[in-house]
Structure 1
Amino acid sequence: MNTTAVLVTGATGYVGGRVVLRLIDAGYKVRATGRSLAKLKSRAWAKNAQVELVASDALDMESIKRAADGCWAAYYFVHSMNVSSPDFVETDRKAAENMAEAAKSVGLERIIYLGGLGYEDEFMSAHLRSRQEVGKILASGGIPVTCFRAPMILGSGSASFEMLRYLVDRLPIIITSRRVFTKSQPIAIRNVLVALVKCLEIKETIGETYDMGGPEILQYKDLINIYAEEAGLRKRIVIPTRWMTPRLASYIIHFITPIPRYLAEPLSAGLGNEMLVKDGGRLQKVIPQKMLTARETIRMALERMGQKVIKSSWMDAGAYKPPEWGRYNDAPYAGGAIEESWYDVTLKAPPETVWEPISKIGGDTGWYFANWLWDLRGFIDSLAGGYGRRRGRRHPVDIRTGDALDWWRVIDASPGKRLLLVAEMKAPGEATLEFRIEDMGGGLTKITQIASFLPRGLAGIIYWYAVWPMHFFIFRGMLNGIAKAAGAEVVEGPVEIKPPPHRRV
């Protein structure tokens, strides 16, 4: 076994996060990289002695060179299909070019890439075409690339599985396109991970391309039926139509499920491409393993969700961008007029007791007061093309920096001290919501709840002053609800307080 580090790009993503765990278990040294060091530090494997964390951006040539320097192999899990990349094809192309150049510059021995299964024709979706283009670009740098071409990946937390789950859970009648009759070989995430990690030990995989696929040829309609059976639901009525385009389907998926439209459209379009293993099953001959059926995979995924054991999720990926104006160092007038509401309450309880209900906020727990108003705001956000409350939480108790939480993103989760959320909802401005926990001594703890908003134009100012009167009722109610959930006596408050003239980090 090579004792130098293996680079894992996209380590905070769904596949990348799981590969890091597998590499650790296999005894490899790992250099995990992503755009946000804070997000990397929040992962369960971050403090493992075999892991080194490095912040890098594939669109920044120098940063990816620094990340790759000193490594002997690299996994490439970078994908730009997110809301911050309107042209994911061009962004992925540039990122792949940078990786190919960086790999050649630092002398990597090999690159391992997970692409999409499909064969080029006039009907291939833009997403699959881009995935295959990335593989070719990586190989153009002269460093051998092992390319795994995967179909739909099933497993707890994967975007494909979550889309299937929510659609079947919520719709007894599913009106869809004729793409539900397209054949594919969906594969379990467990089988994907085995191949990705095992190939490091097998030299004959260097520079090779392998088709990946499960043991069955199925239609998407079959998956709908299998999921309904395994989840104990009545058989769903599937009505295929010719007029259901990927774009129209994306709006429906966005409204019914937590999957955003920018992700739902390429996933829906991809269902129209046959994803079948056509290389004679070469991968199974080189890396033999028990291939899980779709039913076995769905059953395991449902069990893991019931046990609340989800190692990574599609929601983990994406840009992590704390607002610059939220860093609390500039003069009040810098960057625009920031509107704020501050409320605090003092409780008779230690900080760790107070932190517990705060760490569970959102998702199924709710917001401790007037949940119907939060649901209404989420519904309006969904209509406007935002996430709404449909994303919920990755885990009902555990909360980490970088997590998605309803229409929020966790910017800082410091147990017993602070929870800072930035809004990812559709609004005429940028918003944050913060809970600060302060040990007052003598068994007392103060919670300070801060709502901050940077309006965009007149519409933003009108929006703030329209919702501002509601803060008096909602924030007081939330703080009382948190106190009740913590089983703590309210000593003083909740009361509105005046924001300080300068904000602090």
Structure 2
Amino acid sequence: MQTPEVQTIAVTGATGYIGGRLVPRLVEAGYRVRCLVRSPMKLRDRTWASSPQVEIVAADFADESAVRSALQGCTAAHYLVHSMISAGKDYAAQDLHLARTFASAARQAGVGRILYLGGLGETGQGLSQHLASRREVEAALQSAGVPVTVFRAAMIIGSGSASFEILRYLVERLPVMVTPRWVHTPCQPIAVRNVIHYLAAALDSPETAGQTFDIGGPEVLTYRQIMDIMGEELGVGRRIILPVPVLTPRLSSYWIHVVTPLHHSIARPLAEGLRNPVVCRETRIRQLVPQPLLTVREAIRAALQKTGSGEAETTWSMAGPLPGDPDWAGGKVFTDSRSTLVRARAAEVFRTVCRLGGRHGWYANWLWEIRGFLDRLVGGPGLRRGRRHPDSIELGEALDFWRVVGLEPPRLLRLRAEMKLPGEALLEFRVETRDEGACRLVQEARFHPRGLLGLLYWFAVTPFHAFVFQGMLNALRREAERAALSGSSSALPHNSPARRTPYPGA
């Protein structure tokens, strides 16, 4: 890619899966990047956020004047907003409204072009609601007269992507699968690094302005064949797959919810889309923006390597909303506060606390496993979301069924519960320095019950707190002191070169 003149490129959805990978690629290409986000704090800990080429602007995408102001001076804008997680079942109407607002604001701000990543699939009757929504967003973005470059992709294979996680968990956990007939539907997956390259390199290709392109990898396979490749790469071999005609998208989404980390509200639109063949009808983009395209096996292998090493740049769960503290006023708040003296420095204690979740677990492990299992049964995320990296965390990230809503190294970590609860819950850790080589670790759980059910829930679980919370606190103390005695910690500093994932990413 040629180094362009310095231009300012707007990126929406920078806190999400694709946007979070696109921004550093644009910076590497020499652009100035303006990230339009609802919650700027979510980008605070990204390694690229401190670059002088990056500007982070808070914007409510439903407010046309705010978006217009944020887009002033931008030559192009990547539109990567998708409200499936935040808006739930009403995502289609919300996406359409936001796209129309953005298109109008872009025209008024003088933006030269818009680039949009949509979904691949045949038009006409029978298109799933999810893919139909993607088409409506395309039309809405084009409605204001700004040239729009549309990239339509099928399954995107990359570490942490929703499609990849569904595939990996199903194949890894189920030696025998009863599936809908969509396992025989043809699909043309594409590696996430190839998607990111198209989105970035198209800026340097004026011929792509105002055009719509189908993008896919070099192979057309059925989902059954993709599952077979995944099994081989995971080392579990080919799974027994039994297609049946009675599994509806709704039933499929609940099955995906139970087996994988994805919530059924996210899985259902994806499951509905699986019935549609998603194959490129034209390949003009390969001549305009040439690049080596990874095969499905190469893409899966690269993604598994990134997942295994904890180097995934972004994950699907990072796109969730980042609420502030709940409104505790006007109701009873129950608190479970515990503390312990730790003979270790504050930095060592904080690193230990920040390793909670994922493969490290929650120390009172079997009780948390039971809680996670019960959460999955009632429609919550459970423990299977894991964490992006085994050691480092960022504001807004998911840690199993918690989300990081407060992060102030080396003194505070605040988590908000996303498990199914009859109330609002926070879990906070504070590290208070006492003297040289010692500090106090304070662990505080707060619960704001909703109605009688919330009160009954709190009193029912209170007897277990001595095992769950005290056990976790004691284990954190022992782990921090062990790290202090050994003179090392497996938690790397956040700005360590080992944290950075060089381009291309998987």
TM-score (norm 2): 0.93
Select which of 341, 362, 369 maps to 1:367: 362
Change (3 A) 1:83 1:50: closer
> For 1:346-380, what per-residue CA distance to the aligned partner results, in whole angstroms no more than 9, with x for missing partners?
112110111122010011111122x1111111111
Task: Report the secondary structure of 1:392's partner residue.
Answer: coil
> What's 1:223 paired with?
226
- Is 1:78 the counterpart of 2:72 in the alignment? no
Task: Write out per-residue CA displacement over residues 378-425 of structure 1, whole angstroms, 9 at most, x where no aligned residue.
Answer: 111111100011111111101111110111000012221111000011
Contact (CA 8 Å) 1:338, 1:455: kept in 2 or not? yes
The residue that corresponds to 1:330 in the other structure is none
Q: Tell me if structure 2 keeps the 8 A contact 1:400–1:413.
A: yes
Q: In the aligned structure 2, how far is the partner of 1:178 from the partner of 1:472? A: 49
- For residues 130-152 of structure 1, give each alpha carbon's deviation from its aligned partner in whole angstroms, at most 9, with x where no partner exists: 00110110010111100111111
Greater CA deviation, 298-307 or 102-111?
Answer: 298-307
What's the counterpart of residue 394 of structure 2? 400
Distance 2:301 2:385 in 1: 22
Which residue number corresponds to residue 309 of structure 1? 311
Residue 479 (structure 2) aligns with: 485
Contact 1:348 1:489 in 2 (8 A): no
Does the 8 Å CA contact 1:9/1:16 hold for their aligned counterparts? yes
In structure 2, the residue matched to 1:342 is: 337
Deviations 1:276-315 (A, max 9, x none): 1112x11111111111110111111111122221011111
Pairing of 1:179-198 with structure 2 (within 5 A): 179-198=182-201
User: May I ask how many residue pairs the two structures share in their alignment?
Assistant: 481
Amino acid at match of 2:301: R
Residue type matched to 1:284 in 2? Answer: R
2:161 matched to which residue of 1?
158
Superposition CA RMSD, Å: 1.4
Tell me the distance in 1 between the aligned counterparts of 2:105 and 2:43: 22
Tell me, what secondary structure is at the counterpart of 2:102?
helix
Matched residue SS, 1:87:
helix
Following superposition, the deviation at residue 489 of structure 1 comes to 11
1:25-424 pair list within 5 angstroms: 25-82=28-85, 84-279=87-282, 281-325=283-327, 334-369=329-364, 371-424=365-418
Report SS of the residue matched to 2:75: strand
Comparing 78-87 with 412-421, greater Cα deviation is found at: 78-87
Residues in 2 aligned to 1:57 and 1:212: alpha-carbon distance in whole angstroms = 30
Secondary structure at 1:14 match in 2:
coil
2-side partners of 1:363 and 1:226: how far apart?
26
Is the CA contact (8 Å cut-off) linking 1:83 and 1:262 kept in structure 2? Answer: no
Deviation by residue 1:225-244 (Cα, 9 ceiling, x = unmatched): 00111111121001000001
Letter of the aligned partner of 1:436 in structure 2?
Answer: R
- Show CA shifts across 1:312-332 (max 9, x none): 111111211123436xxxxxx
8 Å CA contact 1:58–1:78 kept in 2: the answer is no
Partners of 1:148 and 1:185 in 2: CA distance: 14
Tell me how far 1:251 sits from its aligned partner. Answer: 0.5
Q: Quote how far apart the aligned CAs of 1:59 are.
A: 2.1
Taking the aligned partners of 1:31 and 1:207, their CA distance within structure 2 comes to 22
Q: Write out per-residue CA displacement over residues 442-493 of structure 1, whole angstroms, 9 at most, x where no aligned residue.
A: 3220111110011101111111121123223322221110011112699xxx
Q: Could you list the runs of 5+ residues in structure 2 that have no partner in the other structure?
A: 485-506
1:466 aligns with 2:469: no
TM-score, length-normalised on structure 1?
0.93
Q: Distance in 1 between matches of 2:293 and 2:455?
A: 57
Alignment-derived partner of residue 503 in structure 2: none
Structure 1 residue 262, shift from structure 2 partner: 0.9
Q: 1:120: Cα distance to partner? A: 1.4
| Maintained 8 Å contact 1:33/1:40 | no
Residue identity (%) = 47
CA contact (8 A) 1:347 1:489 kept: no
What amino acid sits opposite 1:150 in the alignment?
A
Secondary structure of the corresponding residue to residue 114 of structure 1: strand
Q: Give the 3-state SS of the residue equivalent to 1:148 in structure 2.
A: strand
Q: Report if aligned partners of 2:88, 2:265 keep a CA contact under 8 Å in 1.
A: no
Q: Which moved more, 1:27-36 or 1:9-18?
A: 27-36
**1:335 CA displacement:** 2.9
Code of the residue aligned with 2:287 in structure 1: it is K
What is aligned with 1:444?
438
Change (3 A) 1:297 1:488: closer
Residue 494 of structure 1 corresponds to which residue in structure 2? Answer: none
Q: Distance in 1 between matches of 2:86 and 2:326?
A: 19
Q: Which moved more, 1:177-186 or 1:51-60?
A: 51-60
Does the residue aligned with 1:142 lie in a helix, a strand or coil?
coil
CA distance in 2, matches of 1:136, 1:128: 13
Contact 1:152 1:187 in 2 (8 A): yes
Offset at residue 41 of structure 1 (A):
1.1
User: 1:433 is matched by which residue type in structure 2?
Assistant: L
Secondary structure (helix, strand or coil) at the match of 1:486 reads helix
